Amino acid sequence: MTETDKKLIAEAKRVREFAYCPYSNFAVGAAVLGESGTIYGGCNVENASYSMTNCAERTAIYKAISAGEQEILALAVVAQGIEPVSPCGACRQVIAEFRIPHILMANLADDVREMTLEEIIPGAFSKENLEQ
């Protein structure tokens, strides 16, 4: 694991503390590395209308994109659990949309699993599939 990977995981842990999760009590933090070298963190934000909840991974990705990043190089996600936490299907699709090549999944015990985009969502639906 690189020093950058360690920084991403540390930021994901830090922003996890800001999670708004009164319904699930499952706090999640995520961090992404933009092409500029900037790290953007995000946490999950729940809503009483549960489908309106936003996951930590999407929060971090959207923060990076809205700050002007054109490419995201890596993503880390952290939550409490026996195993490293895995992004949900919706987050995997957003990860695929922005072609994030390096994904780190971790828990608070510092267990880490590294995956590539192709490993986390093989055969992903993408805008390239729509081009003729």
Is the per-residue pLDDT at 130 higher than 90?
Answer: no
Tally the domains of the chain. 1
The range of the structural domain enclosing residue 41 comes to: 3-130
Is the per-residue pLDDT at 126 higher than 80?
Answer: no
Q: Which two tokens stand for residue 4?
A: 């950058």
pLDDT per residue as tens digits for the range 76-120: 999 999 999 999 999 999 999 999 999 999 999 999 999 999 999
| CB 93 within 8 Å of CB 70 | no
pLDDT per residue as tens digits for the range 42-83: 999 999 998 899 999 999 999 999 999 999 999 999 999 999
List 11, 17, 35, 57, catalytic entry: 57
Looking up residue 89, the CATH number of its domain turns out to be 3.40.140.10
**Residue 11 among the catalytic residues:** no
